[in-house]
Amino acid sequence: MTVIVLTNCPAGLRGFLTRWLLEISAGVFVGNPNARIRDILWNEVQQYADQGRALLAHTTNNEQGFTFRTHDHAWHPTDHEGITLIRRPDPNAPRPSPGTTSPAGAQSPPTGWSKASKRRRFGRS
């Protein structure tokens, strides 16, 4: 099963995807193409999405049973010990100036500063 979700993308891209997938709601496409066609469709989506955002989710043989890819989303997939999780942006973090790019995983959160780690470190319960 393959699901592609488009937001703010050109109508031509949506028409292109309806050749292989069924549009069940505005910008939500579902189908079961093989892996080669799925990768070709995703490359086309990335190329023609312009200012829009896109998300691809498909079944695969892993612990979760699926995987996903994103294009121009603020939320980014992050691998955590073999499981893919979503890293959401910190609403309190300063936003980068327009025209600059910074990957979501560029700065990892500091370790050892949680309340639990302080309790373990100083022997409090």
Give the pLDDT of residue 75: 82
107 domain-assigned? no
69 domain-assigned? yes
7 domain-assigned? yes
Give the pLDDT of residue 86: 86
118 domain-assigned? no
Give the pLDDT of residue 87: 86
DSSP string, 52-97: -EEEEEEE-SSSSSEEEEEES-SSEEEEETTEEEEEPPPTTSPPPP
Summarised one tens digit per residue, pLDDT across range 70-96 is: 998 888 888 888 888 888 887 777 765
Domain total of the chain: 1
41 domain-assigned? yes
Report the CATH number that the domain containing residue 63 is assigned in CATH: 3.30.70.240
77 domain-assigned? yes
105 domain-assigned? no
35 domain-assigned? yes
- Residue-wise burial string across 107-124, b where 16 or more C-beta atoms lie within 10 A, e elsewhere: eeeeeeeeeeeeeeeeee
Residues of the chain with pLDDT under 70: 95-118, 120-121, 123-125
Domain that holds residue 12: 2-91
Give the pLDDT of residue 23: 96
